[in-house]
Amino acid sequence: MSAVATTPLVALDGASRSFGAVHALRGASLALRAGEVRALMGENGAGKSTLVKILTGVDRPNSGTVLVDGEPVVFHSTADSRDAGVAVILQEPTLFPDLSVAENVVMGRHPRRSFGRIDRPAMKKSVQDLLDRLGVDLDPDRPVQGLSIADQQIVEIAKAMSFDARVLIMDEPTAALSGREVERLFGVVRALQARGAAVLFISHRLEEVYEIATVVTVMRDGEVVHDGPLSELPEDELVRRMVGRDVNQLFPKTEAEIGDVVLDVRGLSREGVFYDVDLQVKAGEIVALAGLVGAGRSEVVQAIFGVDQATEGSVSMNGTDLPLGKPTAAVAAGMALVPEDRRQQGLVMDMSIGQNATLARLGEMRSRGLLSPKRERAEASQWGERLQLKYGRLSDPVGTLSGGNQQKVVLAKWLSTKPRLLIIDEPTRGIDVGTKAEVHRIINDLASEGLAVLMVSSELPEVLGMADRVLVVFEGRVTAELSRAEADEERVVRAATGRAPVTEEIA
């Protein structure tokens, strides 16, 4: 065991990678040893993705080498890295929705019997064995379509195990999982670790990292700035290494004057997703919807906004009932939704910054009946300035911006409609720590100007730091409503996991 532990299964030695003038990776080294769970930490753009791409054979370094069992190799494709025992679990599982769980696992390596036919019983049995070993209850014959993200990740892990992966790279695997699902995933990771696999674990959630990882590599600006046991690195020190400076006062809460009720939701339900949601948001107030991912919070706000059809209940803005399932009517009534998935829902990536920023109010971009590019530019640059958007030209595709700046474009798009209510779903997901604070400041400023804000967030500090009121959602129902004074970590977590406030203590 100890002899094996000294030679890393897979390592990266002094790898550099540049794209044109941008150095994504500068002389990065990293070793993955058997039985280790290594956390890879760093802000967005620190070079983590590039490093993962190189380890998985998607990309190749300009200089430096990949080592497998101490021998230098070149991964020309994902097949090469897979053959070397490297498997990757992405945040969004990449499976074949029409095929069964079993076929998804064995695809590309079907067991054969006579005449080269697929050996279905053997296929089913081997996959059932894998799932049993992972301790999960999944039917191998079931189509993947309709499985939860968490179950799909289990299928991915089973796939990795099926070709005896020794190195498992998990790129933000928990981003879309609920607490229980994270626990199950961690159970699987520990089992793999015990069997001598090396795991590279990437997550933005510090708590998870401290729970699962043993060693840590911290990256900043394409360089490895720290490598060592996690136990020797306290949390604030870790954050400082990631950011390169002290991060304090992340949530500069300013007291706003709370006004009249702007949004009034009563008995809103969507069959099979969420039930009987009542909530009010007043002018100047920030209300947070807390809870586990998958509890139905995004679904609730999407139904309020009308992009999803609610089956029951009512939504009213400023005392006027809105038709359900009509986003256009919601926008007209002064509602705005900054969605969770920026690339798919928030922005039209092929369009320019300016066109995206004005997309929600095309009607007002007219002069004499026709779209006026001049007015669009003026409007977009005005909001760009207000939000301190960093961009080259307004006519550049919005995809050229960083995540944080993209989020600002989405904000600009909606703030320019002069909304009375801003719904913002995971306001800082995938945004680096520096810009995060800026987004928080913007939201606070807006609230103090009298905007009603309904925020969905999975980050407890964000919820506790920003909200005037916290509604906790569990399994599609609101299980607690806490004032700013009442809200603390324990109460929110209890409600979010469906436990009664004080009773039912588990010894």
Partner 1 sequence: MSTPVSAPPGPSAPQGPAAVAEAEAERVSTGRRVVDRLIRARELGLVVVLLAIVGITGAIEPNFFDLDSIKETVLNVAIIAVMTAGMTLVIVTRNIDLSVGSILGLTAFLCGDLLTKHPGMPWIVAVLVAVAIGAACGLLNGVLVTWGRVPALVVTLGTMYALRGVAFLVTDGRQINAEDLPDSFLNVGSGTLLGIPTLIVVAVVVILLFWFVTRDYAWGRQLYAIGSSGRSGGQAAKLAGLKSDRRVTQAFVISGALAGLGGAMFAARYGTVDATAGDGYELRVIGAAVVGGVAIAGGSGSVLGAAIGAVLLGTIQTALIVLKIDDFWQQAIVGLLIIVAIALDRLIANQSEALLRQRSARRRTSA
Partner 2 sequence: MSTVATTPTGSAPDRTPGVVRTEDSLLKKVLGRWETLILVLIAVVFAIGSGISSEFLTGESLTTGSSDFTEYAILALPLTLIIATGEIDLSVASVLALSSALMGYLWNQGLPMEAILPICIVAGAVCGLINGWLVTGLGLPSLAVTIGTMALFRGLAFVILGDESVTDFPTDYTDWAFGNFGGTVVPNTIVLFLVLAAIFAVVLHRTPFGRSIFAIGANKEAARFSGLRVNRTQLKLFVLSGAIAALAGILLTLRNSTAAGNVGTGFELTAIAAVVLGGVSIFGGSGTIGGVILALILLGGIQKALNLDPDISTYWVNIVFGILLIGSVLGPNLAARFREARRTRNRGARPFRPGRPAAAPSGPEGEGNTDA
Q: Which residues pair with 478 in a beta bridge?
A: 473
| Member of 349, 378, 437, 493 binding partner 2 (CB under 8 A) | 349
Secondary structure (3-state) at 283: coil
Rg (CA), the chain: 24
Which one of residues 62, 63, 148, 382 is an interface residue with partner 1 (CB under 8 A)? 148
Number of residues that bind partner 1 (CB under 8 A): 59
Q: Which of 76, 142, 190, 393 binds partner 1 (CB under 8 A)?
A: 142
Does residue 369 interact with partner 1 by CB under 8 A?
no
Q: How large is the angle between the packed helices 179-194 and 149-162, nearest 10 degrees?
A: 10
Nearer to partner 1, 83 or 223 (CB): 83
Binding to partner 2 by residue 88, rule CB under 8 A? yes
Structure tokens at 445: 């400023």
Fill in the DSSP letter of residue 178: -
Q: Using CB under 8 A, which of 107, 332, 348, 362 touches partner 1?
A: 107
> Quick one: which of 96, 276, 321, 373 contacts partner 1 (CB under 8 A)?
96
Nearest to 305 by CA among 328, 272, 285: 328
429 lies in the site for partner 2, by CB under 8 A: no
> What secondary structure does DSSP assign to 362-416, as a single string?
GGGGEETTEE-HHHHHHHHHHHHHHTT---S-TTSBGGGS-HHHHHHHHHHHHHT
Number of residues that bind partner 2 (CB under 8 A): 53
The angle at the Cα of 292, spanning 250 to 316, to the nearest 5 degrees, equals: 85
103 touches partner 1 by CB under 8 A: yes
- By CB under 8 A, name the one of 235, 350, 486, 489 that touches partner 2: 350
Residue 482 in contact with partner 1, rule: CB under 8 A: no
Residue 308 near residue 270 (C-beta atoms within 8 A): yes
Choose the one of partner 2, partner 1, none that binds residue 475, judging by a C-beta under 5 to 8 angstroms depending on kind. Answer: partner 1
Nearer to partner 1, 63 or 231 (CB): 231
For the record, the structure tokens of 442 come out as: 């913007």
Residue 51 beta carbon to partner 2: minimum distance, rounded to whole angstroms: 10
206 binds partner 1 (CB under 8 A): yes
Instruction: Give whichever of 227 and 475 is closer to partner 1, judged by the CB atom.
Output: 475
Is 363 among the residues that bind partner 2 (CB under 8 A)? Answer: yes
Q: How far apart are CA 452 and CA 84, in angstroms?
A: 54
Binds partner 2 (CB under 8 A): choice among 128, 162, 311, 345: 345
Nearest to 166 by CA among 81, 96, 253, 45: 81
Query: Does residue 82 bind partner 1 (CB under 8 A)?
Result: yes
Q: Are 328 and 342 in contact (CB under 8 A)?
A: no
Stretch that binds partner 2, among 4-12, 322-330, 450-458, 462-470 (CB under 8 A): 322-330
Work out whether strand 469-474 and strand 286-291 pair parallel, antiparallel, or are unpaired: parallel
- Distance in angstroms (rounded) separating the CA atoms of residues 327 and 247: 38
Closest C-alpha to 11, from 191, 189, 198: 198
Asked if 390 is part of the footprint of partner 2 (rule: CB under 8 A), the reply reads no
> Closest Cα to residue 229, out of 238, 221, 220?
238
Q: State the nearest-atom distance from the C-beta of 2 to partner 1, in Å.
A: 30
Q: Please, what is the minimum distance in Å from the beta carbon of residue 165 to partner 1?
A: 12
By CB under 8 A, the residues from 195 to 224 that bind partner 2 are: none
161 binds, among partner 1, partner 2, none (CB under 5 to 8 A by kind): none
Sheet of 10-19, strands arranged across: 22-32, 10-19, 63-68, 71-73
Which of partner 2, partner 1, none has residue 351 at its interface (CB below 5 to 8 Å by kind)?
partner 2
330 binds, among partner 2, partner 1, none (CB under 5 to 8 A by kind): partner 2
Identify what 96 binds: partner 2, partner 1, none; CB under 5 to 8 Å per kind: partner 1
Q: Rounded distance, CA 414 to CA 374, Å?
A: 19
Does 97 engage in binding with partner 1 (CB under 8 A)?
A: yes
Using a 10 angstrom Cβ sphere, with 0-12 exposed, 13-18 middle and 19 or more buried, the burial of residue 307 is: middle
- Angle, alpha carbons 452-341-252 (nearest 5°): 45
Closest separation in Å from C-beta 56 to partner 1 = 9
How does DSSP assign 196-247, residue by residue? Answer: T-EEEEE-S-HHHHHHH-SEEEEEETTEEEEEEEGGGS-HHHHHHHHHSS--
Under rule CB under 8 A, which residues in 30-69 are in contact with partner 2? 45, 49, 52-53, 56, 58-60, 62-63
Which residues sit at the interface with partner 2, rule CB under 8 A? 18-22, 45, 49, 52-53, 56, 58-60, 62-63, 74, 76, 88, 90, 171, 307, 327-328, 330-331, 337, 339, 344-351, 355, 359-360, 362-363, 365-366, 369-371, 392, 396-397, 399-402, 413
Which residues sit at the interface with partner 1, rule CB under 8 A? 77-79, 82, 88, 94-99, 103, 107-108, 110, 112, 116-118, 137, 139, 141-143, 145-148, 178-180, 182-183, 205-208, 211, 235, 239, 271-273, 290-292, 458-461, 463, 475-476, 489, 492-493, 496-497, 506
